[in-house]
Amino acid sequence: MIGSQVCRDLVSRLGSKSIYGVDRESIHDSSLTAHQFSIADVSRTEIVELLDEIRPSLVVHAAAHPGGRSLVNPTVNVEVNALGSMRVFEWCARNQCKVLYLSSSIVYGEVMPIPIQEDAPTQPGTIYGVGKVACERWLELLGFGYELDWVILRLFSTYGAGHRPSVDQGIVNVILTQLELGGDLVVKGSLSRLRDLVHVSDASQAICTAIDVWPSRQILNVCTGMGTSVGELIECIAAAKGLDISKVQLQEVEGTVGDPQYNVGNPTLALQRMGFKSQILPRDGIVQLLSQRRSNRV
C-alpha cells in the first residue's frame, strides 16, 4: 500500500525513468519500471543483482512481512524483515547509497498515555516490532562502520487505498473488511485502545518530504498526534458506510499479544526537522477510502 503510493508520487515528481519498484507480487503500474521477487529468498540474489545494475542513489525500504502475522509465522517474519532488510542495507552501505527505512510505532510497545516522542524507550511486545528495532540499530551501526547515510520514519497506524482486504493487517482494514463481509464484528482487545491514524497519502508525503529535505540520520515519527479509540473508529466506519451501528453484532475477544493499549505519537520533531504535518483527518480519510473501494468495484 505505502510503497505503491510512494512510487506514484515520486514518478509524478521525478519521472518514470528515475524510479524502480520491487515487490514479491506483480506491480500493475505502466508508469513504473517494476521487478517481481522477494528480498528475503536466501537462495536467490535478484535484489543484489538489480541494485548492481541500476546503481540507485537512494533506496526507500518499505518491504515487510505483516505485523499481524508475526506470531503465527515468526520464522517467515524474521526472514523477510531481518534477513531481507540486511541484504538491502549491506548493499547500500558498501555502495554509499542512502537508505530511507520505514519503521513502525510498534517499536515503542506499551507506554504511558501521552503523545510518544522519538526518544521514548523502545520496548516492542511483538516479533515484528523486535525486528523493526533490530533494523533501526543495524542502520545506526552501518552508519558508523561504512558511513551509511540513513533516515528512519516510524509510521503510526497507516490506512488507505491499496490495502488488500484483510482481517489481520491494519486496524482500519480489519474493521472495514469484516463489515463488508457481513456477520459479527470481532474485535481483538479493548474498544478503548487508542490509535494514531495516518492516511497513506500523508505517509507518502512524509516520505517524499524526507527525500527532498533529507534529515540525515534522524528517527522521526509520522503521525497526527491525535488518538482515535477503536470504538470511535468502528462508529466512524459504520457511519461512512451508512450502517446502523446498533444493528452490528460486536464481539470483543482476547487481544493480540503485544498489541498496546495506547499508541499515539508526537509529530513535533517531524515538523521541526522537515516541515511535515499530517493533513487528513480520520473521518475524511475513511470517506475517501470507501469512495475509492467502490470505484474499484465498478
User: What CA–CA distance (Å, rounded) separates 1 from 163?
Assistant: 5
- Record the cell numbers describing residue 10, joined without a space: 515520486
What is the predicted pLDDT for the residue at 24? 60
Chain position carrying cell 510505532 = 105
The CATH superfamily of 2-297 is NAD(P)-binding Rossmann-like Domain (3.40.50.720)
Which pLDDT tens digit goes with each residue over 208-226?
999 999 999 999 999 999 9
Which secondary structure element, helix H or strand E, spans residue 293, and what is its range?
Answer: helix 282-297
Which pLDDT tens digit goes with each residue over 149-208?
999 999 999 999 877 777 777 899 999 989 888 878 999 999 999 999 999 999 999 999
First to last CA, the chain: 20
User: What CA–CA distance (Å, rounded) separates 110 from 112?
Assistant: 7
What is the predicted pLDDT for the residue at 29? 60
Q: Angle, to 10 degrees, between the axis of helix 46-54 and the axis of helix 85-94? A: 30
What is the predicted pLDDT for the residue at 25? 62
Q: Is the pLDDT of residue 298 over 50?
A: no
- Record the cell numbers describing residue 53, joined without a space: 545494475
Is there a contact between 194 and 263 (Cβ–Cβ < 8 Å)? Answer: yes
Which pLDDT tens digit goes with each residue over 229-282?
999 999 999 999 888 888 888 988 998 899 999 999 999 999 999 999 999 999
- Record the cell numbers describing residue 235, joined without a space: 462508529
Distances (CA, A) of 44 to 38, 128, 150, 152: 9, 23, 26, 27
Q: Which residues does residue 34 pair with via DSSP β-bridges, in sequence order?
A: 21
Q: Is the pLDDT of residue 26 over 80?
A: no
Q: What is the mean pLDDT of residues 273-296?
A: 90
